[in-house]
Homo-oligomer: A and B are copies of this chain.
Amino acid sequence: MARYTIGLDYGTNSVRAILVNVANGKEVASATWTYPHGKEGILLSDDPNLARQHPADYLKGAETTIKRALGVAKRSNQTFKPDQVIGLGVDTTGSTPLPVDRKGQPLAFDSRFEKDLDAMAWLWKDHTSIDEAIEITDLARKMRPQYLAKCGGIYSSEWFFSKILHCLRTNPKVFSAAYTWVEAADWIPAVLTGTEAPEDLKICVCAAGHKAMFNAEWGGYPDEKFLTRLDPKLGDLHTRLKTRAQAIDKPVGGLCKTWASKTGLREGIPVAAGVFDAHAGAVGSGIQPGMLVKILGTSTCDMMIVPADQRLADIPGLCGIVKGSIVPGFVGLEAGQSAVGDIFNWYVDYICPGGKRTGSHTALTNQAEKLAPGASGLLALDWNNGNRTVLVDPRLSGLLIGQSLHTTPAEIYRALIEATAFGALTIINRLEQYHVKVDRIVTGGGIAEKNPMVMQIYADVTNRPMMLSRSSQTCALGAAVAAAVCAGEYPDIPAAQEAMTGLKSKVYDPNPAAVEVYGKLYKLYRQLHDAFGTTAWKGSCFNVMKDLLAIRAEARGGAT
């Protein structure tokens, strides 16, 4: 009788459950559910930087999608029984922390705070905490440089402590009412296993290591003295934070009775430690040394693993270097581009070149794929949403150069795609500069599957074969892989990956003629990159984008 695990994948707007055969990774059923709160699951306010989620959506979403997926499985296979499901894995967006009470209940569930946006889950893309991120970075630079060395040299406004400190500063009522703060990636598995009470809670190394400066080397989270220097109340919180974190190959517990009865699953089946969606996607793509897994969506997350016993320097500009964060026994490296699909969507949805009919992604792609590399004379920087890796600078913006009086919409579209590929190559070059070899790139997601031109441009620009994950739900699959290991089906993650993950047969190989042209264009890209993004050379234009943002803020009455 076949055995299955469930991968529960919490995205920005919806949650998905997939039911996977542990023998071969085949996805036999799935169900998706869009969060009902706010705008497509996101609670907004007048502040354009604010983005929150209601944790009730997480629970209702787990119940709904698991039940539906089981229903689908039953309908397609009359002999299927929920008892055949032997484990559950969870991945979520992050850093998405939420304040909880002494029992691990979200403050959002407390009637006193049910309308308070600060009592909700602070979604990964919430940018309210920019000032606090600068404050944390500045203090760490002076006091604990080792904290920054593992996260690219800059602590982000999207991350755990920036958000908590912002709440402390701007909404002390919520901060005081919170016993502690928990990442959604930790809280959901805890609820499913009835271990959400802070004393029982188990946390994952992925979230803590990549977003909260957690490292076993210095005993866990940043030390009390450091947090106290930021704010004494943050220092107090330190005693209520966990000191150990675990990887995805170990369960945080067994499915509790309540959730077994809610979902119809067997009580006690192991629930794996939570993991961030992109990291789960790396697992579901079969990540191994030498393979860069690129989750190509509105932004990208680029992941590599390096054997834990290999010497590895702190690589400047990377968002995280964390032992065990992706695959236990390996150091997980995370990099990323702040906007990729978002730039293409901006161009199509905001600029609407040529109008709706001729300006769709499909129409522009059809024209753009006929263009030879370099033939437009255009070059762009992919910084419309700042630069995450390797510059780690949100105060950068887009740039397009080379326009004539005959430049067409499709030429600009292609230049924007090329710009994101140049950005991808810049990350690869940084990794290789620090002896992390990148032989091939595996990607997945809508753009990769829908747009062969994008894949070919990436192959030609990076001069590396581009491959596609076999699964189109690598994140959920990665969670299911973790569940299979927790259930004892495989001795470790690599063994489970070997059996459960794979690639599509189509490979996009670099075209030598295009590689040569892009080599020349990349030199110019780097020149612009360094001129506008660094102070590396005298006479750089490093100030230009920042000054424009300052002028803009003033013109808009001080808003950034």
Contact = CB atoms under 8 A, between A and B. Distances in A.
Interface in A346-361: 346, 350-359
Interface in A35-90: none
Interface string A290-309: 00000000000000000000
A378 B548 CA distance: 7
A208 to B, nearest CB: 30
A120 interface: no
A358 B408 CA distance: 18
Contacts of A223: none
Contacts of A351: 351, 353-354, 407-409, 412
A397 interface: yes
A377 B548 contact: yes
Interface stretch (A325-333, A467-475, A479-487, A524-532): A524-532
A352 B354 contact: yes
B552 A405 contact: no
A1 interface: no
The quantity of this chain's copies bound in the complex is 2
Given A354-B351, A409-B350, A531-B539, A521 B551 contact: yes
Nearest to A383: B403
B531 A541 contact: yes
Nearest to A416: B403
Interface residues of A, number: 62
Contact of A555 (B343, B354, B517, B555): B517
A216 interface: no
Interface string A536-552: 01111101110111011
Given A377-B397, A528-B544, A539-B539, A551 B520 contact: yes
Given A353-B352, A354-B352, A373-B555, A403 B398 contact: yes
Contacts of A531: 531, 539, 541
A408 B412 CA distance: 15
Contacts of A544: 379, 401, 524, 527-528
A375 interface: yes
A14 interface: no
B409 A398 contact: no
Interface of A: 339, 342-343, 346, 350-359, 372-379, 384-385, 397-409, 412, 517, 520-521, 524, 527-528, 531-532, 537-541, 543-545, 547-549, 551-552, 554-556
| CB-CB nearest 4 A-B residue pairs | A355-B355, A398-B403, A539-B539, A377-B552
